[in-house]
Chain A
Amino acid sequence: MSHLIGGIFIQLTWGNALALVLLGLVGGILSGFTGSGAAFIMTPGMMNLRVPGVVAVGSNMAHRFGNNMMGAKRHAGLGNVDKKLSIFLLVTALAGVQLAVWINSKLFNLGGGGEGHGEGSGSGAVSNLYISVVFIGVLTLVGAFMLRDAFRSPDSKEGAGPSMKLANFFSKLPLPPYVHFPVADVRVSLWLVLGLGLLVGYLDGTVAIGGFVGVPAMIYLFGVPTTVATGSELFMAMFGGAWGAISYAYQGFVDLRLSCLLLIGSLLGVYIGAYGTKVVKEVLVRMVSSSIILLAVLSRAVAVPVYLREMGKLNFSEAWVPWLKGGSTAILFAAGIGGAALVLYHVVKATLERRRVHATLLVRTTAGEP
């Protein structure tokens, strides 16, 4: 606990401050590249830097709050936001966020938050374990689905995209009343929308990964076009994120210093990552994204025994602890840095190629001149 101020906030050194900026940069690149929030690397990355899980989630939400606001504004300008859909989702998403904040706060206090935040063993080990388990559960499914999708349907074959079985199944369910969303041009059962909002809000509030479920669900379950799904989710996340950040701040779990450091790298990274999508094949984007997600899951899984030991639920030699913690950090940072480096490599390569390809590449005069 000596590394924590008041049992919740870490002592900042030049080393971990730089690591946070780097984490932001890597997260930003991956965020721009995968088109999702990069909480899958930011949250565990901060936890690996010994930030308590609940503070990592709260600080990341505060950091994303501003980012989402700017992203939503841009999407709204392009007509990609179905505000009606966002507002319907938001109704239950706010409840979901509140539920998640309440559970996280209770578990943190239960599992020992030090002087300021409860007592017990293991400096928030219960909360850390809970966050890790949710993270592992959800992202294993998402990562596996994306990876299978990438291998099954190279972006080449027409109509061989993700399965529409779920969408067809849900569209046949008689669940009135139905609501029509004009921009997305879909008609969806109100109960499905409210249920999804609650799930997205809960996941956003728990690990800040609501978008990972929200966007695919809108596409596959509701039949919303991809750009509208992304824009509407960002619009909703702007309010949901703000609500989550404020709620966590009220509970005392937002470290603005961490948010500021993450922001330095992440905004710059988003520019680079977004450019990367233009020069990297879509199938590679999906493969890289899913691989990083699954490695982030592995990293969390490696850290789980440590939390269980801190809670007294698992007994093994203390000598293993630094190895497990180090291994978890190494896997996560290797995955993040590796992924970001891959994107950077393609961006630099494409920039150099573009300079070479200056003129119109091929001009052929045919025999069929009229």
Chain B
Amino acid sequence: MPIIFICSVPFSGGERVAKSLAQKLGYGYMSREDVVARANEAGIPVGKLEVAMVKRPSVQERMARLKDRYLAVATATICEKAQDGNLVYYGRAGHRLLPGVSHVLRLHVLPEHGQRVETVMTRLKLSREKAEKFLRDIDGDILAWVRFVHGIDMDDSRMYDFVANLENLNLENAATALCGVAELPDFRPTPASQRAMQDRFLQAQARIKLSLDDRTADVDLTVRANDGVLTITYVPLQARAASLISDAVGDLPGCREIRCTMASTNVLWIQEAFKPDSETFREVNELARRWGAAVELLQYKPGDAPSDAVAVAVGRSAAMEARTGGVEDDVPEARPSSEEKSFQETLEALVHEGRSGGGQRVSGSRDRLSAVISPSIPYSLVVLGDLFLDKPPATRTRLVRELSMFLGDHVKAPVLSTADLAAKLHLGGREVARGAVAGVLVVLIYCGVFLWQDKLIDLLGGPAHKAAPWFAAVLVALMAPVIAFLYGSVLASMMKWLKMD
């Protein structure tokens, strides 16, 4: 049965709906307060974190590591409880903690405003005016918190499977109606979604262990878990920490292997079918080599129907290794398809190159795709490879462009198609010609400046300047940016040629 996440604002009745739903279904119940209590026990000052993040964006950067720890504790707490059985969780956008897990039912409870104000007036003994201001402030803070922590707008209805508007709906009836929704087969666990959840749990546990160990607490690490394989990347300037990572993580249940990769940054490569001998692989690998980046593979099957994100480990097919779940009999045992094999081989090739950042697979809508892209991983680039393979070339180009624009709005990194990537990587004939022309112009300008110094000085500060000072101003206004642009173009081409850009 699903894990039910109910999101709402305080004094909305959402908590009562959640408790009632848990009781009717016989599920366990957990709220954000439990997560906060666990985080405080782990030494994370959640109150301070909230105030800092909501009030001052500049502090958010410095609190990023603390935020990651909090998210890890929250994820681990929910996964731990959900593993024991069915669960109803009441909080703020908690479903974002389990990207790629499909047996999650996401509900948003919208309050009836008048009732909410009355509740605040009664409970906090406030005047109507003060109660309304109190609610405005608290709602604003919660929206800001959710936007920063999860990168979403909490009020965006696309984030939820169902929205219960309490304006015309009784709390009890809302809970009763939602009981039916929870029974729908769409939200039942599958082996793949259970495996995805175990990976999220493993990833969170590893992150917590690393943050609690003094030797690694202050190291900037990226942690991914894929089918029991932990891939941990660290930046070159903290290379000394590499040997400590494995010890700090220790033995975690469900962890088959730990891989530590040194990477200055991360590149996310999204494609429908991967091949290690393809031109795109060479391009991406070349880029990763130049940037010292780890490459994360995301196999994306576009479509309207949502489905699971499946984490994949090297040398082991997801389908072959699927662990048993509650409805495993419904799933026929599958052999790895050629696509899966190619995916594995591509991952293997990246591991061999020392550039693996892990991999996962997802299918469904664009929203589903963006949900599995972790906002806490600092990607430098998102590469859109071959996608929409069943469409005609012209449609494919348009769809890739649209997806690129969509992801550009949702991911904090430039999004490039493979065609753009090739242009970025290689010094084409046109670019060589442009660089050569810029070089010739720079030489001519410099020759002009230094061969006719006397005349130039006269114009800039001599008698000619006295006669027409505006000419010097125009000369500087034109020449300074032109020289910088031309010389910059020459240098950029040279750096690209030397593969040092």
Contact = CB atoms under 8 A, between A and B. Distances in A.
Interface of A: 5-6, 8-9, 12, 62-63, 65-67, 69-70, 77-79, 116-117, 155-159, 161, 164, 167, 171, 184-186, 219-220, 222-226, 229, 242, 245-247, 249-257, 259-260, 263-264, 267-268, 271, 278-281, 350, 353-354, 357-370
A360 B356 contact: yes
Interface in B266-294: 292
Given A161-B62, A279-B237, A350-B236, A361 B261 contact: yes
Contact of A362 (B246, B414, B500): B246
Contacts of B260: 360-363
A5 B218 CA distance: 57
A69 B253 contact: no
Contacts of A167: 56, 58
Interface string B476-491: 1101111111011001
Given A158-B63, A278-B237, A368-B253, A249 B488 contact: no
Interface residues of B, number: 77
14 contacts: A9-B461, A65-B481, A116-B462, A117-B461, A158-B218, A161-B62, A167-B56, A242-B481, A255-B461, A259-B480, A260-B446, A362-B258, A366-B256, A368-B254
B251 A368 contact: yes
Given A158-B66, A259-B480, A365-B256, 8 more contacts: A70-B488, A252-B461, A257-B450, A259-B483, A263-B483, A357-B239, A360-B354, A369-B255
Given A250-B472, A252-B461, A357-B262, A245 B477 contact: yes
Interface of B: 52, 55-63, 65-66, 198, 218, 228, 235-239, 242-243, 245-246, 251-262, 264, 292, 323, 351-354, 356, 412, 414, 445-446, 449-450, 453, 456-457, 460-462, 465-466, 469-470, 472-473, 475-477, 479-485, 487-488, 491, 495, 500
B190 to A, nearest CB: 17
A225 B460 contact: no
Given A66-B483, A246-B476, A263-B483, A363 B236 contact: no
The 6 closest A-B pairs by CB, nearest first: A66-B484, A156-B218, A249-B476, A252-B461, A223-B56, A362-B260
Interface centre among A66, A158, A359, A365 (most CB of B within 10 A): A158
Given A5-B457, A263-B483, A249 B473 contact: yes
A353 B239 contact: yes
B237 A251 contact: no
A66 B485 contact: yes
A151 B394 CA distance: 58
Nearest to B62: A161
Contacts of B257: 363-366
B256 A369 contact: yes
Contacts of B446: 260
Contacts of B351: 360
B209 to A, nearest CB: 12
Contacts of B456: 256-257
Contacts of A366: 251-252, 255-258
A295 B259 CA distance: 45
A368 to B, nearest CB: 5
Contacts of B55: 171, 223
B251 A157 contact: no
Contacts of B479: 256
A117 B238 CA distance: 55
B234 to A, nearest CB: 9
A184 B475 contact: no
B58 A224 contact: yes
Contacts of A278: 235-237, 264, 292
B484 A65 contact: yes
A155 B356 CA distance: 27
Contacts of B356: 360
Contacts of A158: 62-63, 65-66, 218
Interface centre among B252, B356, B460 (most CB of A within 10 A): B460
A62 B479 CA distance: 9
B462 A184 contact: no
A252 B480 contact: no
Given A267-B491, A360-B259, A370 B476 contact: no
Contacts of A171: 55-56
Contacts of B465: 252
Interface centre among B57, B445, B466 (most CB of A within 10 A): B57
Nearest to A250: B473
B487 A267 contact: yes
Given A223-B57, A226-B58, A361-B261, A78 B472 contact: no
A360 B63 CA distance: 30
Contact of B58 (A5, A78, A220): A220
Contacts of A70: 484-485, 488
A247 B402 CA distance: 46
Contacts of A370: 198, 228, 253-254, 256, 323
Contacts of A117: 461
A222 B57 CA distance: 9
Contacts of B482: 66
Contacts of B238: 281
Given A164-B56, A366-B251, A361 B476 contact: no
